[in-house]
Structure 1
């Protein structure tokens, strides 16, 4: 029988128990990356809203809008041809989208052609393009068009001219046009004479302090609209085309802050023929 000193050694193993199940993997990193991406997208959106004009924002919005039709003239259908058939020669002659014997009008020297009542939308868009294209003619034209934004609405082509911080349209709180307004009116009269549509002019103002005893916004907005009408007619616009002249005071602000100078503006509307 072996002595006590010849026995097998005793080995003791100690296991370290970690409470809580260890680390949770990299899921938090994915969530954090999503958060950072969302914040970057948010700040990019804020920058775009501040750095673009209303016209540019509308273009961006239209680009991402999947409901915009492929054709400019809709035939009422939902197919690729907007309701027209490739064999519908007579129909396509009326819509201006094709056909061998379609009727066309002689284009003017400026490239704006008459399309009849069915082409009212395209006619307004042509005038809009003719106006905005003037910005590429010279630096002076480009500076004038900084005051201008356009949009096509159910009523017609709205040409909005507005104050800039360093270049107001009128002298002080008066209806005396500044030189820049006279130049813009001459430019607009030239472009508006590409058509014979009727025209409406409206004046708008920023809100003035309510503490004023005699708030002039109603009279002043109307006076500025009348002054603009006079400038257009002096520049060669036919007075018979003027349908209405209105003053809206501070009731239709262009931006949410009522006192913002951006609300000081004149809207000249080239009215649709089909209304």
Structure 2
């Protein structure tokens, strides 16, 4: 008699799909970020206060302040003959071109007034020096009636105006006459040594432009730009020019006479530091680095240099 049949049942198990590893990538990123964060905390805790000020100034540059020892650029200190010296920060104000980087701290009122008074005295000195230098120049003797120097809320303004039968530019164009080049060259020889940015503004009379589609806006802007180019060719550092503006027939010198030749003019403004965007309030580097000067040399007090007549 045959024995009982033994049936062996084998079950084949299917292969499971591969489990995703995206969580490992996310976890690795998290661990890396935490490591970098704690490394940053460690570096900050071991850094000196001066180093921390330097890092802070890298992201929010300090204002260059002009004083007895020159212009300060490094963390609120002025470099001069006597070494580094702490200087007072200017009163914060709302300016274009700089993002707010921290709480606004109100400066003492007397400090703000002192800074404004110092800047006013400096502009008065510059105005006197420029006026004297231009009056002593023999080549400008017959042209001084075209030059007007005054102070505005923006700064010290030098205006070169047209006169009857003596315009600066060819009518409706941007070509400078020889006498205009003489005046601009003399002015450039002085202002290029002044530690202030420049604004060059062009003004025209009504319907001065001749070509169709070419308005007084384009003409005044092109004339201002031609003046900028000529001044740079005459020795002005390109970094010293903060802006070039065309104002067409707006802001006439003689509002009661819209067609007066004096309304055609060029305004060269030595800008106050307070009207500049925060990141450009330090004096232009080109004024102090002519001929490749070493940046680490102590900076002398900026002076207006008056060219001598030979």
Q: In which range does the TM-score fall when normalised by the shorter chain?
A: 0.5 to 0.7
* Contact 1:156–1:269, Cα closer than 8 Å, also in 2: yes
Q: Shift of the alpha carbon at 1:153?
A: 1.3
Q: Aligned runs of 1:218-257 on 2, under 5 Å?
A: 218-255=217-254, 256-257=256-257
How far, CA to CA, are the matches of 2:233 and 2:209 in structure 1? 36
Task: Give the structure, 1 or 2, with the largest relative contact order (CA under 8 Å, sep 6 or more).
Answer: 2
Q: CA RMSD in A?
A: 2.6
* Contact 2:220–2:247, Cα closer than 8 Å, also in 1: yes
Aligned residues: 165
* Contact 2:208–2:216, Cα closer than 8 Å, also in 1: no
How far, CA to CA, are the matches of 1:178 and 1:162 in structure 2? 13
Q: Shift of the alpha carbon at 1:239?
A: 0.6
* Contact 1:117–1:273, Cα closer than 8 Å, also in 2: no
* Contact 1:221–1:248, Cα closer than 8 Å, also in 2: yes
How far, CA to CA, are the matches of 1:268 and 1:224 in structure 2? 12
Q: Shift of the alpha carbon at 1:131?
A: 1.8
Residue in 1 that maps onto 2:189? 190
How far, CA to CA, are the matches of 2:225 and 2:167 in structure 1? 17
* Contact 1:134–1:141, Cα closer than 8 Å, also in 2: no
Residue-by-residue CA offset, 1:42-98 (whole Å, 9 max, x unaligned) = xxxxxxxxxxxxxxxxxxxxxxxxxxxxxxxxxxxxxxxxxxxxxxxxxxxxxxxxx
Q: Shift of the alpha carbon at 1:214?
A: 4.0
Q: TM-score, normalised by structure 1?
A: 0.54
How far, CA to CA, are the matches of 1:134 and 1:273 in structure 2? 24
How far, CA to CA, are the matches of 2:168 and 2:208 in structure 1? 20
Q: Shift of the alpha carbon at 1:210?
A: 11
* Contact 1:158–1:269, Cα closer than 8 Å, also in 2: yes
Q: Secondary structure at the match of 1:269?
A: strand
Q: Secondary structure at the match of 2:252?
A: coil
Q: Is 1:204 the counterpart of 2:199 in the alignment?
A: no
Residue in 1 that maps onto 2:264? 264
* Contact 2:171–2:208, Cα closer than 8 Å, also in 1: no
Q: Does the C-alpha gap of structure 1 residues 120 and 207 become closer, same or farther in structure 2, counting only changes over 3 Å?
A: same
* Contact 1:159–1:267, Cα closer than 8 Å, also in 2: yes
Q: Secondary structure at the match of 1:237?
A: coil
Q: TM-score, normalised by structure 2?
A: 0.49
Structure 2: segments with no counterpart, 5+ residues = 1-66, 71-113, 276-310
Q: Shift of the alpha carbon at 1:212?
A: 8.4
Misfit runs of 4+, over 3 Å: 103-106, 115-118, 209-215
Residue in 1 that maps onto 2:178? 179
Q: Is 1:144 the counterpart of 2:143 in the alignment?
A: yes
Q: Secondary structure at the match of 1:266?
A: strand
Q: Secondary structure at the match of 1:159?
A: strand
Residue-by-residue CA offset, 1:236-273 (whole Å, 9 max, x unaligned) = 11110111101011122111221221110000110012
How far, CA to CA, are the matches of 2:269 and 2:248 in structure 1? 17
Structure 1: segments with no counterpart, 5+ residues = 1-102, 107-114
How far, CA to CA, are the matches of 1:176 and 1:211 in structure 2? 14
Q: Shift of the alpha carbon at 1:145?
A: 2.1
Residue-by-residue CA offset, 1:210-247 (whole Å, 9 max, x unaligned) = 99854531111011000011111111111101111010
How far, CA to CA, are the matches of 1:165 and 1:215 in structure 2? 24
How far, CA to CA, are the matches of 1:210 and 1:234 in structure 2? 26
Residue in 2 that maps onto 1:35? none
